[in-house]
């Protein structure tokens, strides 16, 4: 496979990961309607950062299929509510089969909420979006053209870490940038490129 777009049974060209299997309708729906679309709001961006951190070492499909479980477990990713979580809440999360039960990732999600809660309203949104690349980028033609990190994601990760955020390395930062529309890495011929 060249890594270029794949045409699905519905006749639409998609990035290869958006059509890995026809049986993955939820994956395809995420590709078609969410990934690469602009996301704003502190809580919404905090959610994406958390989910990308939980994804580290796992497939995105695993996270996507548990997203509602994560939302229920993490109070809808309300920064204020998660920042108030106690050690008992952390233990509750470790026992919750609806999420990925990783102690370090759970601690990071709670700690990151506490860091985000110290920011002024809208500051997390402004911070993350300040790292959106300026100017037009050439659309990737194949999956091989899509980077794992960029200078902007390295700088964003460094800034977030300096502020006290955890599980926000350059690759996770770039995945967040992709998911939240700071960059558009849909392949050039993908119908969802827009």
Known catalytic residues are 30, 52, 60
Confirm if 115 and 136 have CB atoms less than 8 A apart.
no
Would you say how long the chain is, in residues? 194
Residue corresponding to tokens 């926000």? 168
C-beta neighbour count of 76 within 10 angstroms: 12
Closest CA to 16 of 33, 29, 3: 3
DSSP state of 20: S
Closest C-alpha among 44, 46, 43, 64 to residue 55: 64
């Amino acid at each position: 496979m060249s890594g270029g777009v794949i045409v699905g049974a519905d006749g639409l060209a998609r990035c290869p990961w958006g059509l890995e299997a026809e049986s993955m309708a939820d994956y395809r729906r995420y590709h078609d309607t969410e990934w690469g679309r602009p996301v704003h709001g502190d809580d919404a961006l905090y959610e994406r950062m958390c989910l990308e951190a939980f994804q580290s070492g796992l497939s995105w499909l695993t996270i996507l299929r548990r997203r509602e479980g994560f939302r229920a477990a993490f109070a809808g990713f309300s920064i204020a509510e998660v920042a108030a979580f106690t050690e008992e809440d952390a233990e509750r999360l470790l026992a919750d089969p609806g999420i990925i039960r990783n102690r370090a990732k759970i601690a990071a999600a709670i700690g990151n909420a506490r860091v985000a809660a110290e920011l002024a309203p809208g500051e997390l949104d402004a911070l993350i979006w300040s790292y959106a690349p300026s100017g037009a980028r050439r659309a990737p033609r194949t999956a091989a053209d899509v980077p794992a990190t960029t200078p902007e994601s390295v700088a964003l990760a460094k800034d977030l870490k300096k502020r006290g955020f955890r599980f926000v390395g350059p690759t996770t930062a770039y995945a967040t940038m992709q998911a939240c529309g700071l960059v558009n890495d849909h392949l050039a011929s993908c119908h969802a490129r827009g």
